[in-house]
A and B are shown apart, each in its own frame.
Chain A
Amino acid sequence: MKMLIYFRDLMSDKRFSFGFTVIIILTVLALISVMSPYSPVRWNVVPEEKPPSLKYLMGTTSLGQDLFWIVCFSIKNSLIFALTTAFLSRVLAIVAGMISGFEGGIVDRSIMILSDSLISLPRVPVLILVGAIFREGLNLYILALVMASLSWAWDARVIRSQILSLRERDFTLTAILSGSKSLSVVFKEYFPHILPIVFASTLNNMLWAIGIETTLSILGLTNPLIPTLGTTLHWALSYQALFLGVWWWVFFPVTVLILLFISVYLLSVSISEYLDPRMRIQRIGQAR
């Protein structure tokens, strides 16, 4: 019931409704990939280099694959990859940020030194190094783990500073006076305040993950047999698709990527604005 009200409020934001609609469409495409008549790793299952038509919605590739189904698989893999990365790095960020903020002292300082280093570390060369070292051995889950361990630092910092300021608020003391234990203070008192940051940063982390995965894949630094939007473009570019006039092989993945980026970004912007505690407090007062 409450969720419905939130959703209705959010849908009145044009940015949200656009982003949400696009994401739903992309999710549907990802889901129907299970109905694909072809395996994504098999080549020469359809005639080569056919332009988009009713039969082949997005045309076919020089490898003899139906681009529509490849794109569906790619969306699925890219989304799963992004979610995995975002989830792992969020877990790291929340745990690190909360421990750091709540424990203080030497634990806090060590975590902060580590996260400060990670923040100023140029991640792209490091990831390219990882890609160059592992090459085809780099499956999406390992990449997700590596990327997650490189991308938790900023949000851990934000969460930590939130916790530090929440700790100074009197309601922390009230909770302790009410006999609550530390863990329950963190979850009941602080979590609602931290949630919006976590939410928005999850979406931003997904964006970053897809962006990096695409880049590494295009450069041929991941396993090219796993269909993602990046590897699809990798194949297209290595087959000189644009020179040979097979423009659709490039056009559709790029369009889907851009739609994905814009919609996720719009969702993150509108949701973080909506979940901002000050706005939430205003709405609570207004409910009566």
Chain B
Amino acid sequence: MVKYFLTRFLQFLIVVFLSVTLVFIIVRMMPSDPVEKTIAQITSTGTFLDPSDVEKMIKSLREMYGLEGSILSQYFQTWRRLITLNFGPSLSFFPTPVSSIIKESVFWTVGLLGVVILVSWTIGNILGVIAGYYSKKLPTAMKLLDLIFMIIRPIPYYILAFIFLVLFSYLIPAFPSQGAYSVGMMPGFNLSFIIDVLKHATLPALSMILLQTTMWFQSMKIISTGVTNEDFVIYAKYGGISNHKIIFRYVFRNALLPQVTSLSLSLGRIFGGALITEIVFSYPGLGGTLYSAIMSSDYNLIIGIVLFSIVAVSLGTLVLDFIYPLFDPRIRYS
């Protein structure tokens, strides 16, 4: 057990180390000087700047980007910023620090993603285990579901979200097209605000839930078809044990193990999907914020969000891995 936790924790540290290094390298490869780019951007908006002010600004910007000093000290600088969660000020919302922008948006992303994962994983797995158990003679309704899921499954997040947006916001204006709540609404714990938030979250959540449900459904179907052919399931059938008991106590509980592993491995992908979906619906989570940062070339914010995402996803994976032994007695008792 202890061995298992230690291994996973080590893995977590390695992932964070490697990916932060990767991000550092990518940022270093920026073809144009980000400082000059920023200055150019500011001057292009027509703001007049005194040449000496520009000089000062360049110096402070270089410090902020960690471009001062040797490569090695720049690299350590990146780590220091990550550990202290101090990514410097945002350029587009100057002088708000990047960390407080992230803090605000992460709430929306975590909320949306949490609901989506919980709902889609549950529905997908339950439908999947039934389809897998009866795969030899699938009921017609299941066959239809299987077909529909097979068609939806390969569609990328952006396209599906976009189709939802066009269908349910423009053609049939049933849901708002952007934001997390209506402009002018005062955030607070009251019914009208909550309804408003739910209304705004419906389309992004639905499009993600639909895609992920198909994903969990398909893999659960394949896994539980396999488990259904295992000796212990066949033997339980021989014992006359009722189908629903076999499905949930025998097939489901065993097929769940790879699905938990799979969830922890797919967390990165699911998170990526959420970013993209948020961009489509201009949802003010990390994705939406990232998009506006891209649009305004706010590199500080971009790097901050990317680094934060990597650590957050790795942490999520770590937590899931830590929960895993609850499902598998073979690890619990080794």
Contact = CB atoms under 8 A, between A and B. Distances in A.
A and B touch in the complex (CB under 8 A): yes
Interface stretch (A58-66, A121-129, A181-189, A279-287): A121-129
A258 B272 contact: no
Interface string B295-322: 0010100110110011001100100000
B269 A114 contact: no
B275 A265 contact: no
B172 interface: no
Interface in A113-163: 113-114, 116-117, 119-126, 128-134, 137
Interface stretch (A32-40, A190-198, A210-218): A210-218
Interface residues of A, number: 42
Interface string A239-269: 0001000000010001001100110111001
B268 interface: yes
SS of A interface (majority): helix
A120 B159 contact: no
Interface stretch (B84-92, B117-125, B146-154, B198-206): B146-154
B22 A126 contact: yes
A242 to B, nearest CB: 7
A86 interface: no
A116 B11 contact: yes
A220 B309 CA distance: 21
A214 B302 CA distance: 20
A123 B156 CA distance: 14
B159 A257 contact: yes
**Residue among A130, A132, A215, A218 with most chain B CB within 10 A:** A132
A150 to B, nearest CB: 9
Contacts of B297: 132
Interface stretch (B25-33, B38-46, B187-195, B231-239): B25-33
Interface stretch (B53-61, B65-73, B136-144, B162-170): B162-170
A128 B314 contact: no
Nearest to A215: B158
A121 B30 CA distance: 21
Between B18, B305, B306, the greatest number of chain A beta carbons within 10 A of the residue's beta carbon is seen for B306
Contact of B271 (A124, A212, A220): A124
B310 A254 contact: no
B158 A128 contact: no
B302 A117 contact: no
Contacts of A130: 26
Contact of A258 (B159, B302, B317): B159
Interface string B266-300: 01110111011001000000000011001001010
B286 to A, nearest CB: 8
B310 A221 contact: no
A285 B151 CA distance: 34
Nearest to B314: A120
Nearest to B17: A117
B18 A122 contact: no
A94 B113 CA distance: 34
A122 B26 contact: no
A215 B276 CA distance: 8
Interface of B: 11, 14-15, 18-19, 22-23, 26-27, 29-31, 150-151, 153-159, 162-163, 166, 170, 264-265, 267-269, 271-273, 275-276, 279, 290-291, 294, 297, 299, 302-303, 305-306, 309-310, 313-314, 317
Interface of A: 15, 113-114, 116-117, 119-126, 128-134, 137, 207, 210-212, 214-215, 218-221, 242, 250, 254, 257-258, 261-262, 264-266, 269
